[in-house]
Amino acid sequence: MLDFHVALEELAKAVQLPSKTRQASLVDSLGHYVSEDLVAHYDAPLFDNSAMDGYAVCDPNGDLLAFKVIGRIAAGDLAPMTLQAGEAVRIFTGAPTPKGATTVIMQEHVERVDDEIHLAEPYRANMNIRYQGEEVKKGDLLLAKHREMTAATIALCASQGYATIPVFDGLSIAVLSTGSELIPQETALSPGKIYDANRFMLQAWLKKQHHVFDGGIIKDNYEETKATLLELAAQHDVILLSGGASVGEEDHVGKAIAEVGELNGWKIAIKPGKPFGWGKIGNAHVFMLPGNPVSAYVTFYLFVYPFLQQSIGATTATFMKGTAHFEREKLEPRREFLRGMYTENRNGGFDLTIAKGQGSAMLSGLAVANCLIEITPNTAVSEGMTLNFYPIH
C-alpha cells in the first residue's frame, strides 16, 4: 500500500487536468474564478462628486461663514459653473462638484435664508467630496487571475463596464457507481439491495463548478464495465467511479482500466479509503473510489478534489491545526481520517471533537461533521494533543 504523502506525490505527477476558459455573464460568473487579470477601464470615481446632500462651496481660506447660492446640481446633471469665493450650489449625493468647489457642507450644518446659507463656524476644506480616481485609476489591476467572483466583485466589474467576465470553465466529468447490489431510489428495496448514495453525493459536490454527466449504475459485469469505460473516456475529461475498486471476484474496475488504458496507482494506506486508485483511458483521467460512502467521500476530498480545484483556477485547501478534546487509545497502522467537528475557542485556536459513528459506511457521522481529523499511523490520541484537521464543506 502507498503511503498517504507518496500517493499525493505520484498523483501530482500522473494527473495533469486541462484548464478551460469561457466568457461568463456577470451574474453567471458568481462562484467562478477569473482566468486572467482584469484592469480598470475608467477612473473610479469617474469625476469629482459629492458624498452628501448639502452645499458645494468655494472657501479658499477656510474662514467664511456665509455663501450665496447660485445654482443646483443633482445626480446625473452637468456642473457647468465655476464657483468664486463666497459662492455655493445646492448639491445632492453623486452629483458632480463644480470647478472652484473647496468642500461640501452637509445640509444639517447649514441655515438657509433665501439665496444665502450661514454657518455657525468655518468648515474644513475637502470634506464630503469623492475625488476622481481616488479609489481606482484607469489601468490599475481590478481583479487578479484566480480571484473568486462574489456579489461584491461582480458589482465592481459592473461599475467598470464589464458585461462578461473571463472565467475558468469546469471539466466534463462522468460520475457512475458500480455494484449489482445498488438500485435507484424510485425502486422498492428488496433483500440484498441498497440505494445508491455515492453518485448523488459526488454529483452534488461537482455540479456548481463542472459539467457533470450521470453515468448511472453499472452491474458487476466485466465486459459491461469495460465497454462503459471506453465509451465515457471518449466523451469526458474525467471519470469518477465508486465501488468495484477492491480485489474481490466481483470487483472489475481496476482490471478493466488496466486492459483498456493504464492503471497508475492503487491502494492507499489510509482509513477509510484503502481501495482508491487512479489511471487513464485515452485522454480521460479515471479515479476509482471505494464503494463505502464515507470512504468514497474521504478519498475524493483528499485525492481528487484538489486537482479539480486547480483545473478551475481555485486554490486548494490545506490542513489546519487544532486541539483534541477526545481520547483514542486504539493504534491504527494506517493513517486515519476521523469525521469530526472543529469549533473556534476564545484564544483563536480550534477545539476538535469526533462524531459518533466512525464506520466507513456510516453516513450519519459524516453528515454532522465539518472536518476530517488526521491521526498518524500507530498513534494514540490523548486530551490536549495537537492534530491536523481538514475543514470540509
- Residue 321: predicted pLDDT: 97
- Residue 393: predicted pLDDT: 74
pLDDT tens-digit series, residues 130-145: 999 999 999 999 999 9
Total-model pTM: 0.87
Cis before 272 (ω within 30): yes
Please give the backbone phi and psi of residue 298, each rounded to the nearest 5 degrees, phi first.
Answer: -65, -45
Q: Is the pLDDT of residue 236 over 80?
A: yes
Residues of the chain with pLDDT > 70, as a percent, come to 98
C-alpha cell at 302: 483528499
C-alpha cell at 381: 490520541
- Residue 265: predicted pLDDT: 80
Q: Is the pLDDT of residue 147 over 60?
A: yes
- Provide the 10 A C-beta neighbour count for residue 84: 11
Confidence of residue 246 (pLDDT cuts 50, 70, 90): low
pLDDT tens-digit series, residues 30-77: 999 999 999 999 999 999 999 999 999 999 999 999 999 999 999 999
Query: Could you tell me the domains of the chain?
Result: 4-18+171-312 (3.40.980.10), 31-44+135-167 (3.90.105.10), 49-130 (2.170.190.11), 320-391 (2.40.340.10)
Q: Is the pLDDT of residue 248 over 60?
A: no
**3-state DSSP percent of the chain in helix, strand and coil, to 5:** 20, 35, 45
Residue with cell 483498456: 260
Q: Is the pLDDT of residue 336 over 60?
A: yes
Residues of the chain with pLDDT > 90, as a percent, come to 92
What's the angle, vertex CA 321, arms to CA 348 and CA 317, rounded to 5? 105
Q: Which residues of 17-55 are buried (b: 16+ CB within 10 A; e: fewer)?
A: eeebbeebebeebbebbbbeebebeebbbeebbbebbbb
Which of 117, 102, 47 is closest to 75 using CA atoms?
A: 47
Q: Is the pLDDT of residue 156 over 60?
A: yes
- Residue 252: predicted pLDDT: 82
- Residue 93: predicted pLDDT: 97
Confidence of residue 315 (pLDDT cuts 50, 70, 90): confident
What is the rounded average pLDDT for all residues in the chain?
95
- Residue 346: predicted pLDDT: 95
The average pLDDT across 163-175 equals 98
3-state secondary structure of 197: coil
3-state secondary structure of 222: helix
CB contact set of 215 (below 8 Å; sequence gap of 6+): 174, 175, 176, 199, 228, 232, 239
Q: How far apart are CA 242 and CA 323, in angstroms?
A: 33
CB-based contact 337:298 (threshold 8 Å): yes
Confidence of residue 266 (pLDDT cuts 50, 70, 90): confident
Q: Is the pLDDT of residue 244 over 70?
A: yes
Beta bridge partners of 103: 57
The average pLDDT across 318-347 equals 96
What's the angle, vertex CA 99, arms to CA 126 and CA 121, rounded to 5? 40
Q: Is the pLDDT of residue 19 over 80?
A: yes
Strand 194-195 relative to strand 262-266, pairing: unpaired
pLDDT tens-digit series, residues 378-391: 999 999 999 999 99
